[in-house]
């Protein structure tokens, strides 16, 4: 019987090593991918933090620049408001109560609006003279000829207890319940209250809540004088008074009034609401940004006693 050759099976000793090597390579690849994902996440978080810190630093730098620009502009223009408006009035040839200009500081464009607050109807005066309801109606009349509609919503603060000195100073007819614009108007942005065009009138050219409560006769306009003085003056009398004032620019009220036949009642009332010199001026500083504008309002009220003088600043 022939011997049947035996078939021998040999296992390649490298098979197990190859399979183990493949598993190791797969694990290493997975670890590398995991590390890359983690590193990418860490870098992303770091980049976000860096971007946020850079943005915060940019905002801080911008805010600091705006702050110093405001202080500089306020110091230059608000302190010389009376002289600036007087020079501008002489150049124009008629009384000017508000002056607009554009300046550039540190690469930022600013729009400035310098105003005589006593050339405007004072909300506190109207409320003191007529009460809240009639004062509200008077304010609506002051805005009737303006191109933009703004809602008047009077929201008084609690009236402060008056001392005998303050009662005598205001003669008992001036309220002190309104000290901010949002107590008078309903608005989302100051741009709604300011004129968009150079020669356009705005609500803030007619109405204020700062100052002594008296109207500066030398630059008040006819409509404002007519509304505040409507208790004793007719429209024709207001017009005559304004025309005489403009013809004799710089003349005081008493001198102009002698040329008109006013009754004693009219004279006494007008002396009560008019003055020949303003003691309150305001300055709007509007910084032009790429995505928005930054608004700041400074109001300087000078009083006979320096300790009673006030300086308000608001920002939006």
All residues at 6 or more sequence positions from 273 whose CB lies less than 8 Å from its CB, including other chains: 125, 213, 214, 215, 228, 229
All residues at 6 or more sequence positions from 314 whose CB lies less than 8 Å from its CB, including other chains: 180, 181, 296, 297
- Residue 259's pLDDT is 86
Average pLDDT estimate for 132-143: 94
All residues at 6 or more sequence positions from 41 whose CB lies less than 8 Å from its CB, including other chains: none
- The mean-pLDDT minimum among 105-119, 153-167, 178-192, 262-276 falls in 153-167
Q: Give residue limits of the domains in the chain.
A: 63-315
Read off the pLDDT of residues 279-301 as tens digits, 9 standing for 90 and up: 999 999 999 988 889 999 999 99
Q: How far is CA 185 from CA 88, 204, 207, 295, in A?
A: 29, 10, 10, 17
Closest listed residue to residue 276, CA positions, set 213, 217, 211, 220: 217
- Residue 168's pLDDT is 37
Read off the pLDDT of residues 163-187 as tens digits, 9 standing for 90 and up: 443 333 334 456 678 999 999 999 9
Confidence of residue 47 (pLDDT cuts 50, 70, 90): low
- Residue 58's pLDDT is 56
- The mean-pLDDT minimum among 151-165, 177-191, 204-218 falls in 151-165
Alpha-carbon dihedral 70, 75, 78, 84, rounded to 10 degrees: -120
pTM, to two decimals:
0.75
The residue among 294 and 6 whose pLDDT is bigger is: 294
């Amino acid at each position: 019987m022939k011997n049947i050759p035996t078939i021998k099976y040999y296992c390649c000793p490298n098979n197990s090593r190859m399979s183990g090597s493949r598993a190791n390579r797969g694990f290493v690849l997975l670890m590398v991918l995991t590390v890359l994902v983690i590193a990418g996440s860490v870098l992303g978080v770091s980049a976000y933090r860096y971007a946020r810190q850079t943005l915060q630093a940019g905002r801080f730098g911008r805010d600091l620049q705006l702050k110093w620009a405001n202080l500089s502009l306020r110091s230059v223009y608000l302190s010389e408001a009376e002289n600036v408006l007087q020079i501008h009035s002489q150049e124009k040839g008629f009384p000017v109560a508000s002056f607009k200009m554009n300046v550039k500081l540190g690469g930022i464009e600013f729009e400035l609006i310098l105003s005589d607050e006593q050339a405007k109807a004072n909300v506190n005066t109207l409320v003191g003279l007529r009460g809240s309801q009639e004062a509200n109606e008077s304010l609506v009349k002051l805005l009737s000829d303006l191109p933009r509609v703004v809602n008047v919503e009077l929201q008084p603060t609690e009236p402060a207890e008056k001392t005998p000195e303050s009662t005598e100073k205001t003669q008992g007819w001036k309220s002190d319940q309104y000290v901010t614009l949002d107590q008078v108007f309903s608005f989302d942005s100051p741009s709604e209250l300011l004129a968009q065009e150079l020669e356009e009138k705005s609500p803030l050219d007619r109405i204020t809540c700062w100052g002594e409560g008296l109207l500066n006769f030398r630059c008040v306009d006819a409509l404002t004088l007519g509304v505040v003085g409507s208790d004793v003056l007719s429209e024709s009398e207001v017009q005559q008074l304004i025309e005489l004032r403009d013809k004799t620019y710089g003349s005081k009220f008493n001198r102009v009034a002698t040329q008109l036949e006013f009754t004693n009642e009219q004279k006494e009332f007008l002396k009560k609401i008019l003055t020949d010199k303003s003691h309150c001026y305001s300055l709007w500083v509007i910084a032009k940004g790429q995505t928005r504008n930054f608004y700041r309002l400074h109001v300087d009220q000078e009083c006979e006693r320096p300790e009673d003088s006030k300086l308000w600043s608001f920002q939006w």
